[in-house]
Amino acid sequence: MTASNPSSSPLAVAIAAARAAGDLIRPQFGRPLDVAQMLAHDIKLDLDVQSQELITSTLLEAFPSHAIYGEEGIAGDQTSDWQWIVDPIDGTVNFFYSIPHFCISIALRHKGEIVLGVIYDPMRDELWEVEKGGAPKLNGKPFQVSQRTLLSDAVVSVGMSKSPDVAMQATVLLEKYVRRARKCRLMGSAALDLAYVACGRLDAYIEQSVSLWDVAAGQILVEAAGGRFQAVPRADNPDKISVRAWNGIIDLSVE
Ligand code: LIP
């Protein structure tokens, strides 16, 4: 699927969609928001849906035969070999609490293989992009994972959700890494954690239960930047995966 016009290449369209969603979301930051669903462990905003609708229309206008698989639902031709994986606001709870740490995450899979990833932080105007075989870039500049070699020098982000099993597993891991790493962080956006691992701000990110849309774009960014990404489906929930991503150098074993 090569586009003759570079401005309509899948990567260019993904970047345009992410920036358009950022322009939608940014002015709402710090304002009273319409809540679609307030759960004990999560918040769904009308803005999540609006952001996904905007991304979906941008992607499907350029590629009408493609499929969309997003946190806020599916669209397009679900039999397509080309599938966009979209998190319209990753870090919704941060956003709702006026913590300026959230992003838009867009990946494209072809026959199951991720072929591009874009993550956009609209508050800092930082955009990570990569396509298969290319150099990953942050705001146009190439980057790589950190070159730290020791866990004792590393900053490790541990993500955690609230279900009792997951919270328990994550707490056990957190306790181990807190003692072995230089510092641990719990930042609230899986996609930004992966973008930060990719460009060397973090050395590792570990989370016991996330969804594909949280991590798909981050996976290709980390791998293209020289790092490693491992995902294992959860036995208790086929829609969730346990993930760890790191610079590929540090030994993360803590047993
Ligand atoms: C959230 C993540 C967060 C993770 C949550 C959730 P959302 O995504 O990025 O880091 O711990 O389980 O998946 O719901 O804000 O898009």
Quote the ligand 1 centre to 233 CA distance (angstroms): 17
**If you write DSSP's letter for every residue of 15-65 in order, what string do you get?**
HHHHHHHHHHHGGGTTS---EEEE-SS-EEEHHHHHHHHHHHHHHHHH-TT
Q: What was the pLDDT predicted at 2?
A: 45
Q: Which domains does the chain possess?
A: 10-142 (3.30.540.10), 151-246 (3.40.190.80)
Nearest CA to ligand 1 atom 15: 91
Query: What predicted TM-score, i.e. pTM, was given to this entire model?
Result: 0.95
Q: Which residues line ligand 1 (CB under 6 A)?
A: 42, 71, 87, 90-92, 159, 161, 188-190, 207, 210-211, 214
Give the distance (Å) from ligand 1 centre to CA of residue 190.
6
In ligand 1, the atom with minimum distance to the C-alpha of 42 is: 14
At residue 5, the pLDDT reads 63
With a cut of 50, list the residues of the chain below it in pLDDT: 2-4
Atom of ligand 1 nearest to the CA of 102: 15
For residue 139, give Cα distances in angstroms to 199, 218, 221: 11, 16, 13
Q: What is the pLDDT of residue 163?
A: 81
pLDDT of the residue at 253? 93
Residue 39 is predicted with a pLDDT of 78
State the pLDDT at residue 4: 44
Q: What is the pLDDT of residues 118-162, one digit of tens each?
A: 999 999 999 999 999 999 999 999 999 999 999 999 999 999 877
Supply φ then ψ for residue 185, to 5 degrees: -135, 150
CA of 52 to the centre of ligand 1 (A): 15
Comparing CA positions, the residue from 212, 209, 185, 213 lying closest to residue 197 is 185
